[in-house]
Amino acid sequence: MMKKIFQILFTGSLLFVSSVQDLAAGNDAFLRRVMYDIVPAGSYVWNWRDAVVIRGLIEVYDTDPELRGEVLDYVREAMLATAPKAHGHHPNGVASGAGLAFLIRAGADQDGYFRSVAGRVFEQYLKIPRAENGACSHRPDVVELWDDTVYMLTVFLTEMYRATGDIMYIDICADEVLSHAEKLMDPETGLWYHGWAQTRDIHRDACCQDGWNDNPLQRNGEFWGRGNGWIAMSLVDLLGVMPETHEDYPAIMEMMKKMMSTLVRLQDRKTGHWYQLPLHAGDAGRGNFIESSCTAMFGYALSKAVKKGWLAGSRYRKCVGRAFSGLERFSVDMTGTGDCAMSNICAGTCIGDREYYYGRGISSDESFALGAMILFDRMTGTD
């Protein structure tokens, strides 16, 4: 599928498209590089990282009939290879269950095997420890709420709703969003803190910064880019399937709009990216850096909200255009000819203070980032 020619305008040193409709349709070279070279189905891992690739491929299936056969074959192979070990003992395990639910919806579960495994994942999810307000803990051994969790659950629960039509899955998903928001969302900006712990006791591990929760609010004090990317995608994906008559629809819609309004103001105009810590662009060169995975996530969420008619105004459309063009210019090779498909990705990250985030490694070709870019690419190319 050939890329559409961009209608471009100059703004500073960055080229950007004038509207969402000017953006390219899905790029098959990038997609196939992810599917066959970077995250082949036979090497799929049952985790949160590769689950974002599955979510991206679901979007391809739903928007491009020509690629449905390839996508279905990929997801079937990935799920058959990992289903024996599939579990929902923690949110990071739940996420890949989206592939099982998709196969049910796509009519690829003739013998009921995928449905039975999906049911096991769901039942195990229900047994994960809960916070005092009912929110699912990110960890199985200590009660902590992370913004990452919201996406890992949403990607599974919304696809289960699409597969079964059972509103229970939407009810549960909405409850998870709202209960996590109670502890993590900043009401002024709509941005989310990375984590909250049920106690101030220090839980030491090999990833989080010691003492991040040892304060009166029992949470960290920074808005992490990718963590907010998880939330942005969760909100638009939930709203996209939630009946408008659902009692929680207005609250989640308001939550989404407030976040998007803030994100537009925080975008770096020169690169089209958002920073690793979006509020601290002034720290560029002192540890903060442009981050491609959250940029793809924010771009996808903004693009979907514009196309659904939830957000109006040229500032949103131009923001999407800057993000897409900026990613192509600085972080993503859509042609499939370079050594790296996607760079400027913050490595897997736990919770800490500002300097902790600045000290995280920068990596390339992470499956979760590639999946987010597939989503953004496809969303900008569909009507």
Q: Output the domain CATH number for residue 33.
A: 1.50.10.10
Instruction: Return all residues near 322 (Cβ < 8 A) that are at least 6 apart.
Output: 11, 14, 16, 267, 269, 272
Length of the chain: 383
Phi then psi for residue 345, to 5 deg, are -100, 125
Q: Is residue 1 part of a domain?
A: no
Q: Is residue 62 part of a domain?
A: yes
Q: Is residue 115 part of a domain?
A: yes
Q: How many domains is the chain partitioned into structurally? A: 1
Q: What domain range is 13 assigned to?
A: 8-380
Q: Is residue 3 part of a domain?
A: no
Q: Is residue 2 part of a domain?
A: no
Q: Is residue 315 part of a domain?
A: yes
Q: Is residue 94 part of a domain?
A: yes
pLDDT per residue as tens, the chain (383 positions): 333 323 333 333 344 343 333 334 448 999 999 999 999 999 999 999 999 999 999 999 999 999 999 999 999 999 999 999 999 999 999 999 999 999 999 999 989 999 999 999 999 999 999 999 999 999 988 999 999 999 999 999 999 999 999 999 999 999 999 999 999 999 999 999 999 999 998 888 889 999 999 999 999 999 999 999 999 999 999 999 999 999 999 999 999 999 999 999 999 999 999 999 999 999 999 999 999 999 999 999 999 999 999 999 999 999 999 999 999 999 999 998 889 999 999 999 999 999 999 999 999 999 999 999 999 999 997 65
Q: What is the pTM of this model?
A: 0.93
Name the helix (H) or strand (E) containing 80: helix 68-82
Q: What is the DSSP letter of 248?
A: T
Q: Is residue 160 part of a domain?
A: yes
